Structure 1
Amino acid sequence: MSAAAENPWRTEALDLVRGMSGGLLFGVPLLYTMEVWWTGALTQAWVLLLIAALLFVPVFVMNKTEGFRPSRDVRWRDAAADSVEAVALGFVLAVVMLVLIREITTGTPLGAALGKAFYEAVPFCLGIGMARHLLGGERSSVEGDEQDGNGEGDAGEGDGGEGDARPRVSASVADLGATVVGAVFISLAIAPTDEVPMISSAMTPLWLLAMMAASLLISYAIVFVAGFGKQDERHASEGPFQHPITETVVCYLVALAVAMVLLALFQRALLPWPELLSQSIVLALPAAIGGAAGRLAI
């Protein structure tokens, strides 16, 4: 029996990380949308409660079909309980992300803060409900099938180690390529918007460091904690950039470079260097999330 199965608290924590991972992938693009902030800040309380009630319906259906648990909810009451948990988790996640991008601060009126959080929670909750579907990819055996016990691994060892080196390098190259593809897929629609410089303008150097730390933590959690895509094999992988910490840092730097290139494509390369770097760090958050999802897809 695994340690997670023996410890229900650890199992629940891993399920929550899995749910948050799906919520972030689905909800981050809408997080960078000022119209959603403004609409939420101006919406009356009864409308927000109606939105929460209506949101429960699709989340309930998703928990019956996909959900964020390792297995589907068979009983109706389990699906209902998980749906309440998913909506609450989505709301908390929305609040944390809005604080991170400085759209909720100590000076934000309570009503406006709740409105923004309720509206942003909608895609986060939907992503939590589809977590297993969004991030349940299996990693292809780019590290070699010699571990399957069919004798091919022995042949590779007989080649003086040459057969072992090639798959390890391929795994690193595949991870970097998947990071680029995933980062572009998520951040391309965000890069040309005015939200990026707007968010960046509210960032202090310390807050930018906090955003970088959050990006690293989120991408690490998606790939190495949430239990997606042959996670155990990823922990055991060998290669130039295959250690979990090294892979997370290198792939974040790749996502940061992708963010900078995308901003340059939209005529922001002429900005002063500190301003361009600040905007790149802001855009690197969704890019890192997309890159982590891309690595799970291979």
Structure 2
Amino acid sequence: MAEAAGWKADRNNANRDYALGLARGFAGALIFAFPLIMTMEMWWIGFYVEPYRLLLFLLTGLGLQVGLAYFSGFQPARDMTDALIGGVTAFGIGCLGSVAVLWLLGVLDQMQGWRGAAGMVAIQAVPAGIGAVAARQQLGGAPDEQTKEDRAGYPAQLFLMAAGAVFLAFNVAPTEEMVLITFRMGPWQILLLMAVSLLLLHALVYTVGFAGQEEPADEGFWATFFTYTLAGYGLALAISAYVLWTFGRTDDASIPMVAMMTVVLAFPGALGAGLARLVV
């Protein structure tokens, strides 16, 4: 009887913890995706983005969520199977949360048709899913749940930096202001923005530090700069270029213009990479 009672208590505790994790995931999805859900640019992207770009974006987002679920998902992951389940669950939370909020705000209606509605929800589900899977880091969790992230090696740390870059850059990537800012900046301002992005990223590396990283003073300035700062900024540039391509910002644009837009978007991306330990 005692063993049965203990097993039942453990199961109830596990169910309660999972329910709390799901609630935390929905809250994280809303916190991260809410500013994007209320922007017209994100609504229209779901209509005009090509299906193959949208599919690739969804697969990339799902892979990112599975990786994040392994390190710091809304529920602890013991292995990659748990991470896969957690990532898919976070993606489902992103879809459900996006449908609910878009419908509540009156954005979804019968006039759009299933193609437009599906594209709108799908494009919103990626940032919402990232917010869901990173909810434990955003909204708090047990202090002993971060051990896997603390032991992350260098390749895994680069992945977390990439996730941080996506986390922050995605808030401004769909907006028309990104294109307007690029038109208003001159070549010297673009170069200065690159230098400032590197400087701030390096300062964040020294201030925040990364999981599995030695103290910056032990590694030395240049080792830290080349290992983390330059690598993180390179990831921010690559992610920015990919997101701009997905949203169609690079279509019919000249190579210099694409390069300048990439640098502009990489500014918040670099900050996200530097804050990866805090946001994901």
- Per the normalisation by structure 1, the TM-score is 0.42
Structure with the higher fraction of residues in helix conformation:
2
**TM-score computed with the length of structure 2 as normaliser:** 0.45
